[in-house]
Structure 1
């Protein structure tokens, strides 16, 4: 892979740079595990949540569910109200890798499935999300990974050469989506693997040592 001329590096955010787990607040709000599992499988599902990533407003999203589950209105509204608890810390080693790449002069951007408002909240909680040259937020462009159009939009917006672009994402589907758009892409599982994957493409970030966790600033 060293023969590949990588000039652009694109990071996903959730589960690559910051931790995300809806169970964190809901383990308190719905203590019974079986009931909580039912709630996420039938009410605030992944399919429901991703429509906010596609640009649907929380007001509309909540109204749709409350119409069908009026007795769950408080828990439905709690999903957005307690969202900040779902992102309690960053992955400091990965953040260090990204900061090292930026410090070395690499062209670093971000491409993320994120609701518009919660992404701006995340930037306040984690100021390092403002360091890359720019970001494409799915909720802003109303496209989501792994649709090819969002990769094309990101490349066009930031002037990226797809064949010289390396994408980092935790989702196999999103990795394959990037490859289908002509990008190089690697699946993130842990910082050590990421360093090896970067090295295989001839990318060696500076060492930015960091503690194991970066906690969010208080909301």
Structure 2
């Protein structure tokens, strides 16, 4: 790892936190394929990202109910039962976070697409969200990954240059966007591979 590296930036969902709508909707749907179709075609990730970017949960819900009234109950469950989408911490990554924090070598930040309205729920569940030196959350900033301005908010706020940081995210789209900005990045596919990559880079 270059000596100029000052900070590690973590995504939250699917990197440190096992957030997955399947955890909830497997309780609602008896048929797996029906659940998959609902999440692929109705309560989609694109729709959810509008709430992540600052649209209220209520507004997002009402828009979707109007579009798909026969699915109203299942749509309303998305946010009224959102807490049931939390499957726990991804312990291997949390352990890596602990090691990085304990080393004292780096500032550690979160850069996450996350609704302002559900952030507090996550903070009650996961103590490690209090370990960060700063959190940049899309719902608060009204922009999100992979838009360049969202990455730039973090860099500007903490007086960092793109080459000063190492960014970790499970969504390859977001990695591509970061690399275009000159931000060294790791595509997260599991804690073991992350640990190996960090060791190879001399971080751990």
Task: Give the TM bin, normalised by the shorter chain.
Answer: over 0.9
Secondary structure at 2:167's aligned position in 1? strand
Asked if 1 retains the 8 angstrom alpha-carbon contact of 2:52 and 2:139, the reply is: yes
TM superposition score normalised by structure 2: 0.94
2: CA distance, partners of 1:113 / 1:49? 10
Find out whether 1:48 has 2:32 as its counterpart.
no
* Structure 1, unpaired ranges of 5+: 205-219
Runs of 4+ more than 4 Å apart:
none
Structure whose residues are more often helix by fraction = 2
Provide the aligned C-alpha RMSD in A.
1.3
Find out whether 1:187 has 2:184 as its counterpart.
no
Secondary structure at 1:97's aligned position in 2? helix
2: CA distance, partners of 1:192 / 1:26? 28
Q: Which moved more, 1:19-28 or 1:34-43?
A: 34-43
1: CA distance, partners of 2:23 / 2:2? 44
2: CA distance, partners of 1:197 / 1:34? 36
Secondary structure at 1:197's aligned position in 2? helix
1:139 matched to which residue of 2? 139
2:155 matched to which residue of 1? 155
1:210 matched to which residue of 2? none
Count of aligned residue pairs for this structure pair: 203
Q: Which moved more, 1:9-18 or 1:100-109?
A: 100-109
1:89 matched to which residue of 2? 88
Secondary structure at 1:117's aligned position in 2? helix
* Structure 2, unpaired ranges of 5+: none
1: CA distance, partners of 2:14 / 2:33? 25
1: CA distance, partners of 2:142 / 2:50? 9
2: CA distance, partners of 1:162 / 1:188? 19
Secondary structure at 1:114's aligned position in 2? coil
Q: 1:3 offset after TM fit, Å?
A: 4.1
2:26 matched to which residue of 1? 27
2:77 matched to which residue of 1? 78
1:69 matched to which residue of 2? 68
Asked if 1 retains the 8 angstrom alpha-carbon contact of 2:57 and 2:117, the reply is: no
The 1:184–1:67 alpha-carbon spacing in structure 2 relative to 1, beyond 3 Å, is same
Find out whether 1:12 has 2:11 as its counterpart.
yes
2: CA distance, partners of 1:109 / 1:3? 18
Secondary structure at 2:151's aligned position in 1? helix
2: CA distance, partners of 1:22 / 1:3? 38
Q: 1:194 offset after TM fit, Å?
A: 1.1
2:197 matched to which residue of 1? 197
TM superposition score normalised by structure 1: 0.88
Which whole-Å deviations, capped at 9, do the CAs of 1:137-158 have from their partners, x for residues lacking one?
Answer: 0111111111111111111112
Q: 1:20 offset after TM fit, Å?
A: 1.7
2: CA distance, partners of 1:135 / 1:3? 24
1:212 matched to which residue of 2? none
